[in-house]
Every structure is written in C-alpha cells, then in structure tokens.
Amino acid sequence: MTSFTQSETSSAWCGNTVVAGYNDSGAFARTATSFDAPWSISSASYSSDGGRSFVDIGTMNPGTDPINFIAGDPVVACTSPTQFYYSSIFASGVDSSGNFFNGVAVTYRATADARE
C-alpha cells in the first residue's frame, strides 16, 4: 500500500460547493517522472454536497515546459458553486547562481458539476 501526504490546505465555500487545495506528495510522485517534464506538488478536491464527500480533481497542471514547477502553498477561491481559482507558488528556470525564478501560478477550474 502506498501512502501520500496532503498538507498546507486551503478551502473555499460557494453555496453547497467546497473546494480544497493542498500540497500533495502523490501529485509530486505522478509528475516528477523525469528531469525532462514539469513537476507539481499541488492538487485539489471538491464537494458538491456540503463536504460529505469529495471528488479528487487531480494535480494542478504545471504546463508543458520542463523547467516549470508548481511548488505548493495553495490559496483557493470560488466565484460560484461551479467555478474556482487555485493559486500557488510557481518556479520556472534558474539564474546564473542556480536560484529559481519564483512567481505565482493561478489556475482556473470548473467543477465536474459545471461540465455535466
């Protein structure tokens, strides 16, 4: 059995919908498959029944550039019960000293209820 850690959570409520963002070692394990691929340590889940059950949305997409890294510390906000925004630390590239260029990644997602 494999165990993963989910930590540093953020949540938002809009109506009956709850969205939770978190650092996820499972996301890192799924994306850190090689040095030629972008990595993410961020995932999210949502509930449309007031938090009684949750649907795993999966890893926040780091894009296609292999130097991208979604580095966690999420902040989640929603604008309606079917739309939310997920922000986290974003690193891409390094300077001549090997320090990452850091910024903030913002991801827009619609819950599955909005796509049905």
pLDDT at 58: 83
What is each CA distance from 95 to 19, 22, 67, 89, 102, in whole angstroms?
35, 28, 12, 17, 11
Question: Distance between CA 29 and CA 84 in Å, rounded?
Answer: 25
* Mean confidence (pLDDT) of the chain: 84
pLDDT at 13: 94
- 41 is written with which tokens? 């340590």
Rg (CA), the chain: 15
The span from the first CA to the last CA of the chain, in angstroms, equals: 33
Whether the Cβ atoms of residue 84 and residue 107 lie closer than 8 Å to each other: no
**pLDDT above 70 for 116:** no
**pLDDT above 70 for 113:** no
- What is the residue extent of each domain of the chain? 6-115
Q: pLDDT tens digit string along 30-68?
A: 877 777 778 888 889 999 999 999 998 888 888 888 888
